Structure 1
């Protein structure tokens, strides 16, 4: 270990004498600390120098001496002063638990807890030290260190979380300070394994003994991290569909025999899309992908432990303040979708009702209302775990709002002035493009649908059929004609191209073109036990209706595997597969 270390050991050897009491050991270190203001730094500098040593290079005797020194410092914290002992404090706060064995870890954490409890001025530094130990040093990520990393991870993180709990009990303001430190330390631009480990620790705090103190803020910060990564992925990075194809044209992606997909993945994708090209090689997307897997697993654990409804309320508040206002979020919103799929009767219904409430409420900005109804339309269209009855009720509320709006207006088409209205009209047409068949299959719901004032809305002088997206209008009219729900002159609307009226109503951000639960293209979270399956629910239809509906439309809707509506047996439920951000020409 060199001449310097040998001298330090000789100088400090008496501290390691097993015959010394804890009080005597603390006195020896106190003497070294008290000598610094008097100009005598020899013993102090030797102590600091030894603490700087790399724990992985220490022999058993040196480890024992280090433990002894740390224990002695714990008994002398009242004599540690930031002005005179800054180098000692810097050394302590920069020590890595990952570089030491269990005995040193325990002694170091005992010192950290003692420092935090001794003076409020050390609390932030102690918490920061523990948070930085959420992640291993970078060299642990090498292939040669993988076995060591796996062994160390549990040893280190269990102790870190125990120390955080102890400090929170001793210092009432510590949890509030911890929240800010964790937020400031999120390693969003670090390598994927590091940010994954960091977020794992955040979720551990949410579900652990400190959950009551910091759980909500941890969940919100994880969602914020997802959004931060999401916005780093540019729309140019996302594969665009063939511009000649519409958003309702479908085909089986695995017809060419994709080697990546096993035989259980019988899903459909928009034409022109190849799952073999899905954002591969995009470093930011890979990070986000891994974090989405963590969130899905965490939500499943919350469901299994009976905490999902409680956690969902925090998620919903976070969604409303961050995701809903983010410019065309691409992936982060699927956290909400997955949570809803786990508990449709509670979380699923709550999410839809909250979106509908935001849309109808004039207290929100127009952009928020348009975004909310776009989310609502996409969610109702894709979430096959929602019952046809529930969807019909939401559609009725949308139609009633649009009808009331029409009755209050005397003017003609004005896309900018009435864009919230047009967004609502487009929403119920979009949902019916996907859900009309299931609603018509239930006589009571069929009657409910035919009683909605859809015709009066669409023939009003505001003329939403000429303002909403032509692809949606045409598909809706096609199905409405078959169902005899609504009729108009086919020559007036067939083959419509997007007009200045259509482009004007969405505004600069084109929120009218946003379909947030369109298919998803993150590889790991897509494969994390996710499959599209047919609902299997028996429905009866009049033969006149069957021929006019494109069955592939129904297959776009999403159902968690093994899900049965109204059943408590959801152990096999899984995230829907192959749902990706909207990449149709209208949405970009």
Structure 2
């Protein structure tokens, strides 16, 4: 077959109006490469200019470029890294997004030939392909157009199929690919292009779920979690005024909007949107993190549908334990674990809770143990898919550990020495604030709670009631009083309400610095995935109007609560399904948390410096915190 090259006057040219067969053209290119080494560079320079020419190409110029690329594929053995540096730079500087499929195919053929010819080109080939994970900046504005979406599909299909072909030819290439991907990942706090960032992670997830998944999938997931954490750490909460935490959200939950009609729920939604827009709407890291979490949630759902979730979850669990658990500052990354658990509560959900319990009970590092029990308490309290019986089992393990700890201690209050113990006690009370009302409806679970040594632990000379956060202690006593499971006469006030004797002062004798990481997610897109499986405070908080007596002897209740977590029934016996449960509570912003705000601790410490307890674990910074 012969190829006729009619070269236009605007095109860098090797020769004008020449007719060469494929084999003749390969010979011509080989000869140009060899002559350049001897110092005769005219034909070589013309070849470089053809490859480097990146302006809008006409049909003849495209034909010449395709022909030269194919000829180079047959002459790769003549390419020298030192003498042909300009040619190599021109080849690996080409961007697949700038060319049609005929040029893309010819370029990929050349890339594969280079990768197969010598190991010294594999790094360059992989680096170029990873560089094509994202389009040039000019392309981002067109990505919503059908033509651009078609181009995106063509380019990325080409990139991933080529990566697979290179892996088949060069067995060690996946290891190099991992290095190239991590090297090219965006590094906060640089000015990240949101489109490019999302597309880059999208390609990493495609690798994890594709043919190369068994080889590079683990590293992709670990690198993504690390990247989420790096974004998460760039979201500041310290500048948010305390009044917006303590007054606006809290009053809206317990005052103006609780138990009111749909019109006010709509107003509440507007207030929530206003709050998010005020503090997160302009935060580029929050918006980017939101988009990435949605991408990962969709990926996890796909993994679940294809039967791969258990395998992926094992990697996420290890990454969480290594990266997220120790940092104490994660605002939203942890919801990856929450959503994954919601997709498979029986396997993933139980593994997550068991891991947290094991870290608390059996590891050495105190801060990690405190963080783990805070995650466990928040997870058991907020995850609607965790059954009441599972919560009771976990509580039993926590109570047993705290009880054994008390047996080996003779001294009094010392939060610095016993901070892990106090963290465990606080976790027990926190979970009971959310779940006791559901558990006492099940006779066997109510009996199980009655048999626990909670009262003995809380009355121990270590005095956890004086150290744990008083807002949690106070709510715990309200719940205990309703359930009539335990009695604490020494805490009974004359007016009949219950509270810690020192709960008026933040933290009692020593403030226990703590956080509950699954406080409501305020990233708008991500929250839509979390909300259907999430327990909001108003869903379990009793009010005077709905304090109707329950029949805890009904065996049918066990069925309703035992396997599905929190039932769709409130204190008045009404079905939440009749109140648009999926989004009604979100619209009314019934998301009250009893997690305190860090600045309250600072106020108290400034006033009572003798009560300060150093700790690296910060309180929850959720905007619905008290």
Scaled by the length of structure 1, what TM-score is found? 0.85
Contact 1:48 1:88 in 2 (8 A): yes
Question: Which one of the candidate residues 510, 525, 536 is aligned to 1:502?
Answer: 510
Deviations 1:275-319 (A, max 9, x none): 554611211111111101101111111111111111111110111
Question: Which one of the candidate residues 230, 233, 238 is aligned to 1:231?
Answer: 233
| 2:434 alignment counterpart | 434
Asked whether 1:100 is paired with 2:99, we answer: yes
| 1:135 alignment counterpart | 134
Distance in 1, Cα, partners of 2:466 & 2:331: 28
| 1:554 alignment counterpart | none
Runs of 5+ unmatched residues, structure 2 = 1-6, 494-498, 551-563, 569-580, 599-618, 622-626
Instruction: Give matches, 1:114-193, under 5 Å.
Output: 114-142=113-141, 146-188=145-187, 189-193=191-195
Contact 1:531 1:560 in 2 (8 A): no
Deviations 1:193-213 (A, max 9, x none): 110111110000011111111
Contact 1:520 1:580 in 2 (8 A): no
| 1:215 alignment counterpart | 217
Runs of 5+ unmatched residues, structure 1 = 263-267, 507-511, 550-557, 563-572
- Structure 1 residue 142: deviation in Å? 2.6
Contact 2:112 2:166 in 1 (8 A): yes
Contact 2:339 2:530 in 1 (8 A): no
What's the Cα RMSD here?
3.4
Asked whether 1:342 is paired with 2:350, we answer: no
Asked whether 1:243 is paired with 2:246, we answer: yes
Task: Count the aligned residue pairs.
Answer: 542
Instruction: Give matches, 1:374-389, under 5 Å.
Output: 374-389=374-389
Distance in 2, Cα, partners of 1:238 & 1:86: 54
Contact 1:202 1:218 in 2 (8 A): yes
| 1:60 alignment counterpart | 59
Contact 2:26 2:75 in 1 (8 A): yes
Contact 1:331 1:580 in 2 (8 A): no
Distance in 2, Cα, partners of 1:273 & 1:130: 43
- Structure 1 residue 10: deviation in Å? 5.3
Deviations 1:24-83 (A, max 9, x none): 32221111111122111111111111111126x111111111111111111111111111
- Structure 1 residue 561: deviation in Å? 12
Distance in 1, Cα, partners of 2:330 & 2:87: 47
Instruction: Give matches, 1:189-588, under 5 Å.
Output: 189-236=191-238, 240=242, 241-243=244-246, 250-251=253-254, 252=257, 256=264, 258=266, 274-275=275-276, 277=278, 279-362=280-363, 364-488=364-488, 489-490=490-491, 491=493, 493=500, 495-499=503-507, 501-503=509-511, 505-506=512-513, 512=514, 514-527=515-528, 530-531=531-532, 546=547, 584-586=596-598, 587=619, 588=621
Change (3 A) 1:367 1:574: farther
Distance in 2, Cα, partners of 1:470 & 1:548: 28
Contact 1:239 1:583 in 2 (8 A): no
Deviations 1:525-583 (A, max 9, x none): 22469547889xxx9x9x9x94599xxxxxxxx98999xxxxxxxxxx99996779998
Deviations 1:120-153 (A, max 9, x none): 1211111110001000000112359845432210
Change (3 A) 1:202 1:533: closer
Distance in 2, Cα, partners of 1:368 & 1:333: 15
| 1:44 alignment counterpart | 44
Instruction: Look up the SS of the partner of 1:235 in the other structure.
Output: coil
Distance in 1, Cα, partners of 2:150 & 2:173: 29
Scaled by the length of structure 2, what TM-score is found? 0.80
Distance in 2, Cα, partners of 1:107 & 1:221: 32
Distance in 2, Cα, partners of 1:346 & 1:447: 27
Change (3 A) 1:580 1:209: farther
Contact 1:380 1:391 in 2 (8 A): yes
Distance in 1, Cα, partners of 2:593 & 2:212: 35
Change (3 A) 1:476 1:130: same
Distance in 2, Cα, partners of 1:70 & 1:283: 42
Distance in 1, Cα, partners of 2:592 & 2:291: 16
